[in-house]
Amino acid sequence: MSGPLRVALVDDHAMFRSGVRAEIGQQVSVVGEAADVDSAIEVIGQTSPDVVLLDVHLPGGGGSEVVRRVHLKAPDTKFLALSVSDAAEDVIGVIRVGARGYVTKNITGPELVAAIRRVADGDAVFSPRLAGFVLDAFAGTIEVAQIDEDLDRLTEREREVMRLIARGYAYKEVAKELFISIKTVETHVSSVLRKLQLSSRHELSRWASDRRLI
Amino acid sequence: MTISVMTSTSAVPAGTASSGATANATPPVRRAYRLTEGQLVGGVASGLARHLGTDALWVRLAFVVASSLSGFGLLVYVVLWRLLPQRDGADSDETPDRPAGVDAATRMGMRTPVKARRHPGSDVGQAVALLALGVGVLLLQQQLGWGLDSRVLWPAFIAVAGLALLWRQADEVQRQRWRGATPGASLLSPLVGGGGWAAAARLMTGAALLATAITVFIVQSSGVSVLGEVLGATLLALLGLGLLVGPWVQRLVADLATERRARVRSEERADMAAHLHDSVLQTLALLQRHADDPRAVSRLARRQERELRAWLYEDDIPSGASLCAALTGAAAETEDLHDAVIEVVCVGDATLDDATAALVRAAREAMVNAARHSGAAKVDVYAEVSARALEVFVRDRGVGFDAVALPEDRMGVRQSIVGRMQRHGGTAEVRSTPGGGTEVRLSLAREAAG
């Protein structure tokens, strides 16, 4: 790839933006910053960055709104959601409109850079928490036969990969554990992301409302 | 046939009434609501179905069939519509008890509310089928001569349709108020909400239907001659009443809305101020005092972060009595005592009993070990509750150790983890390689967990 990755930062806290800029500015080039939905769309339109780091909660309609409106014009823009919010429905919401991953804001600088690279390469970034959300959302679907069934359930292998990520394994460690290549792990994760985005399981939109007590 | 129908239908309202009464005596009150997401008419049937744990179709059928008993089902339905509070069941977004942070973000327009998808196709089909069934039963009764006097029946029919329209509009306005979407206090806003012409049309149609019903009733019972007089007198009376109390009602409504907004805002501000004072300010004071001790600073910051995060964003995790809550609590204690960062991810949850409590204690021991000995910056805890087993994984990427050469006297692993799990019919497995980190895997079969 020619030159460093071009990244845009979208977050309503200026202090956080400058912190992230200081931490990752050496490895990637931060080409734009924005603090709300409208300015984010403008900045992204002007700079067309490789990856947009996007806060889930934003003035003007939230991160999902940014993804939705940018994808209308530039469907190839890649988003990585970054948030302090553990509210499952919002995290799943921003993934479902098209973000390619979710990390929490206490991620370390090097980890964040690695995540940005992964998203720029077209892969998906799942933190342990997101993997947990996904397993929760797709739980108990094995015996349920539905019309859209291949979109509505995870394969056994995808479930294994998700469980290992939820247990804190990095992709490399998942690959070693399952005796598969990192590329295969990435394929599985991308496929889970696709199911998360396309599945019509209504539980995905309402699953956060009731925690299942088995 | 009629008799079996009767028992089944009367069981529905009676069942709710009694369960509502007994529920009042016990602390966790389980209330019935009308579900106005996925409703056909008023959401009474779908709400009752959710409350009773059956499919909405059965309750709807029961109502339709009971309505053929001189309109008994219809009467029950109308009464329940007034008595049960509404709630958007399919959309967690509308439930009032959301975490504070999500609530605040919603109010400030910083998130896009999740829209619940509806499946209008099947619902419309069901509505048509139910309507056809109801009309069929009704016509049959009329034919057999068991039905009501048609002079009462048709006006009643029209009146009920008009009422349904009006009340649905009222529900809609209430929902908009919850979403905070009610526009400025115009005279009509308490009636129409933000619905515009469609809402106004619904209102007009509803009112027209009601008026028609009354007119038809008067004409049929007393003849056309008195109609003009009755209508004229009624209109005049209404007009006078409107002129008298109209402005007063409008001011009352506007005042009420303003007062409610102000009260909500000041309560929120008070809550927030109290919370900030209690925890954040104290932490800041402590941080200043410990400015030269980086370990204490990071521990304090971490604890404050955890508390704020829980306060703002946590879904209502059942406190104390569930596996997930207990694990989160154990992780928090360990973080405090041993300066570690522990991430807990739970999939599913289970109630706490002897065996699961032992599982939590073993997991806690594993967390303490990881925090004290591994030297890793972060410990990941993952708990999964499936139909077959409860599993907890505690993983760090620290120094690791040689599990085979573990000395007998390492009480922690041998007794607290492996022994404890075995006593409760579970298993514990420690995987560790020097330099490659450690993972403790605890599992408990569901039968043993009860």
- Cβ atoms within 10 A of the Cβ of B446, count? 14
Contacts of B428 (CB under 8 A, 6+ apart): B362, B417, B418, B420, B421, B422, B440, B441, B442, B443
* B111: nearest CB among A62, A209, A211: A62
Q: Nearest Cβ partner of B350 from A60, A84, A214?
A: A214
| Element of type H or E holding B344 | strand B341-347
- Which of B28, B158, B175 lies closest to B95 in space, CA to CA? B175
Residue A17's CB is within 10 A of a number of other CB atoms, namely: 19
Nearest chain B CA: its distance from A25 CA (Å): 23
Angle at B75 between CA B69 and CA B76, to 5 degrees: 100
What residues of chain A lie within 8 A of the CB of B387, using their CB? 140, 214
Beta strands across the sheet bearing A29-34: A29-34, A6-10, A51-55, A78-83, A101-104, A125-126
Task: Dump strand ranges (E) for B83-218.
Answer: 86-87
Residues 68-127 of A with CB under 8 A from B: 68, 84-90, 93, 106
CB < 8 Å from A in window 81-110 of B: 90-93, 95, 99, 101-102, 105, 108-110
pLDDT of residue A9: 93
d(C-alpha B47, C-alpha B90), whole Å: 11
The pair of structure tokens assigned to B117 is 């998808």
A122-131 pLDDT, tens digit per residue, is 889 988 888 8
- B111/A contact by beta carbon, under 8 A: yes
Q: What's residue B142's pLDDT?
A: 77
**Which of B116, B88, B38, B314 minimizes the C-alpha distance to A93?**
B116
CA angle, residues A14, A19, A25, in degrees to nearest 5: 115
- CB-based contacts of B250-254 (< 8 A; 24+ apart in sequence): B250/B187, B253/B185, B253/B190, B254/B185
Residues 6+ positions from B9 with CB-CB distance below 8 Å: B62, B63, B65, B66, B69, B72, B73
The predicted-structure confidence for A62-110, as pLDDT tens digits, reads as follows 888 899 899 888 888 999 998 876 677 778 888 888 899 998 887 888 8
Beta carbons within 10 angstroms of residue B429's beta carbon: 14
On whether the CB atoms of residues B290 and B296 are closer than 8 A, the answer is yes
Q: Nearest-5° angle of CA A24, CA B395, CA B401?
A: 110
Residue A113 CB partners (closer than 8 Å, separation 6+): A24, A27, A28
Cβ contacts of B305 on chain A, cutoff 8 Å: 106
Question: With a cut of 70, which residues of chain B have pLDDT below it?
Answer: 1-29, 36-38, 88-99, 113-123, 146-148, 177-195, 314-320, 403-412, 414, 447-450
**Which residues contact residue A82 at a Cβ distance below 8 angstroms, ignoring those fewer than 6 apart?**
A11, A53, A54, A55, A56, A102, A103, A104, A105, A107, A112
- Residues B110, A58: C-beta atoms closer than 8 Å: yes
Q: How far apart are CA A104 and CA B82, in angstroms?
A: 45
In chain A, what residues touch B91 (CB-CB under 8 Å)? Answer: 205-206
Q: Do A206 and B387 lie within an 8 Å CB cutoff?
A: no
Nearest to A212 among B95, B348, B397 (CB): B348
**3-state SS, residue B331:** helix
* Strand A29-34 to A6-10 pairing: parallel
Position A53 confidence tier, pLDDT thresholds 50, 70, 90: very high
- In the stretch 35-74 of chain B, residues with CB closer than 8 A to chain A read none
pLDDT tens column, A150-160: 666 788 888 89
Q: How far apart are CA B188 and CA B199, in angstroms?
A: 11
**Closest residue of B to A211, CA-based?**
B348
User: Is B343's CB within 8 Å of A128's CB?
Assistant: yes
- 8 Å CB contact of B382 and A128: yes
Are B421 and B444 in contact by the 8 Å Cβ rule? The answer is: yes
**Which ipTM score applies to this complex?**
0.77
Number of Cβ pairs < 8 A linking chain A and chain B: 129
Question: Distance (Å, rounded) from C-alpha B407 to C-alpha B271?
Answer: 53
Residues B300/B287, Cβ–Cβ less than 8 Å: yes
Closest CA–CA distance from residue A73 to any residue of chain B (Å): 20
Which two tokens mark B94? 């509308």
Q: Which of the residue ranges A19-23, A208-212, B229-233, B320-324 has the most confident prediction, judged by mean pLDDT?
A: A19-23
Q: Please tell me which residue, B291 or A1, carries the higher pLDDT value.
A: B291
A211: closest CA of chain B, how far (Å)? 7
